[in-house]
């Protein structure tokens, strides 16, 4: 937490929310403050997709939808932009034709921001970007407990011989020793797999699977209990593929699957993460070409708001 007063978003009672800067939640840019506690950074990259392209336009779409956000979070009972300096760090430019080069550029760009002490709230982009982000997190914190929200495991080995795609980042991260294999899990997995071996491999890689078919029995509170039991007080990174939501709540994504979480369920789960040792997060796979009425953009921007709120410092007497 900074000791100087924070520079917050543009006042919505003075400037209409459809106006103002095109930053996330109309926050200041990183070059407009002395120090940042949380940096929202875009990674407009989608060269690792296996089905629908278009997530390269996700960061701009989520920023546009975030104009609807206000400053006070009533459920978490906190003003996340007042108790910590949150900024928009712009986008990391990366090569759209060379995935290996793009991964190196994302690694370098994320490290430059993270080494200032700011926690990263990254907006993608496809899920390939999680690998370089986890490399940066591991360098700073050691093995990371990953809570991965997704319809898909993303622990496949290769696609058509390619080892770096949006379906492989968590296999590579596990192989590289980036994740804590005793504290990582998937939430919201559903839909057909290639074979039973996918689940066997995933377990060896260090993930516990909590499938969407379990939601009706567990409810969101049961999911929270399982996440807390699995993660404990480990340094925790949240990687959120927007397709964890049912397509009715997030149509604008590259690989939709029926039977997903509702927006309300997801936001309630994320609010509980204020109790975790949250060191960073990403939201990926927002593809605005398939969105309508900003349904997906609004869901993603609100999820980012809840994660930023969960990163905020609490006083010792806080009940949140």
| pLDDT 10s digits, 46-63 | 999 999 999 999 999 999
Q: Kindly write down the DSSP assignment for every residue of 170-221, as one continuous string.
A: HHHHHHTT-B-TTSEEEEEE-S--S-THHHHHHHHTTEEEEEGGGHHHHHHH
Residue 116 has pLDDT above 80, yes or no: yes
* Residues 267, 115: Cα–Cα separation, whole Å: 29
With both helix axes pointing from N to C terminus, report the angle between 99-114 and 130-141 in degrees, rounded to the nearest 10: 40
Residue 131 has pLDDT above 50, yes or no: yes
User: Would you state the pLDDT for residue 100?
Assistant: 98
User: Would you state the pLDDT for residue 316?
Assistant: 54
User: Would you state the pLDDT for residue 125?
Assistant: 97
User: Would you state the pLDDT for residue 5?
Assistant: 82
Residue 319 has pLDDT above 90, yes or no: no
Phi/psi of residue 146, each to 5°?
A: -105, 125
Q: Provide the pLDDT confidence category of residue 265 given band limits of 50, 70 and 90.
A: very high
Lookup: tokens for 287:
């593809």
Residue 2 has pLDDT above 60, yes or no: no
Buried b (16+ CB within 10 A) or exposed e, 246-263: bbebbbbbbbbbeebbeb
In the chain, pLDDT over 90 holds for what percent of residues? 95
User: Would you state the pLDDT for residue 315?
Assistant: 74
User: Would you state the pLDDT for residue 320?
Assistant: 40
CA dihedral (78, 83, 89, 92) in degrees, to 10, reads: -60
In the chain, pLDDT over 70 holds for what percent of residues? 97
Residue 318 has pLDDT above 90, yes or no: no
Query: Can you tell me whether residue 170 is helix, strand or coil?
Result: helix
Q: Domains plus CATH for the chain?
A: 24-311 (3.40.800.10)
User: Would you state the pLDDT for residue 23?
Assistant: 98
Q: Which residue has the higher pLDDT, 112 or 17?
A: 112
User: Would you state the pLDDT for residue 3?
Assistant: 55
Rounded to an integer, the average pLDDT of 270-291 is 98
HSE of 262 in the Cβ direction (CA atoms, 13 Å)?
7
pLDDT tens figures, 213-235: 999 999 999 999 999 999 999 99
Rounded to an integer, the average pLDDT of 143-158 is 98
Q: Which long-range contacts (CB under 8 A, 24 or more apart) does 9-14 make?
A: 9/69, 9/71, 9/81, 12/70, 12/71
């Amino acid at each position: 937490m900074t000791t100087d007063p924070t520079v917050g978003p543009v006042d919505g009672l003075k400037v209409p929310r459809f106006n103002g800067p095109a930053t996330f939640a109309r926050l200041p840019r990183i070059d407009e403050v002395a120090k940042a506690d949380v940096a929202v950074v875009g990674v407009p990259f989608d060269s690792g997709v296996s089905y629908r392209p278009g997530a390269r336009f996700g960061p701009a779409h989520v920023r546009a939808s975030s104009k609807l956000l206000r400053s006070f979070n009533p459920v978490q009972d906190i003003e996340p932009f007042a108790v910590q300096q949150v900024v928009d760090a712009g986008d990391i430019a990366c090569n759209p034709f060379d995935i290996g080069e793009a991964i190196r550029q994302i690694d370098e760009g994320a490290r430059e921001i993270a080494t200032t002490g700011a926690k990263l709230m990254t907006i993608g982009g496809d899920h390939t970007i999680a690998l370089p982000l986890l490399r940066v997190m591991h360098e700073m914190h050691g093995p990371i407990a990953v809570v991965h929200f997704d319809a898909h495991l993303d622990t496949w080995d290769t696609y058509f011989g390619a080892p770096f795609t949006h379906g492989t980042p968590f296999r590579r991260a596990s192989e590289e020793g980036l994740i804590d294999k005793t504290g990582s899990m998937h939430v919201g997995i559903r839909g057909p797999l290639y074979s039973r071996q996918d689940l066997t491999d995933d377990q060896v890689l260090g993930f516990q699977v909590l499938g969407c078919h379990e939601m009706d029995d567990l409810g969101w509170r049961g999911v929270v209990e399982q996440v807390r039991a699995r993660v404990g007080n480990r340094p925790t990174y949240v990687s959120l593929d927007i397709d964890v939501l049912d397509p009715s709540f997030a149509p604008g994504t590259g690989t939709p699957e029926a039977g997903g979480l509702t927006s309300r369920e997801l936001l309630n789960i994320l609010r509980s993460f204020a109790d975790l040792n949250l060191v960073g997060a990403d939201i990926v796979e927002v593809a605005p070409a398939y969105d309508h009425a900003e349904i997906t953009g609004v869901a993603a921007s609100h999820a980012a708001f809840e994660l930023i709120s969960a990163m905020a410092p609490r006083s010792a007497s806080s009940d949140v």
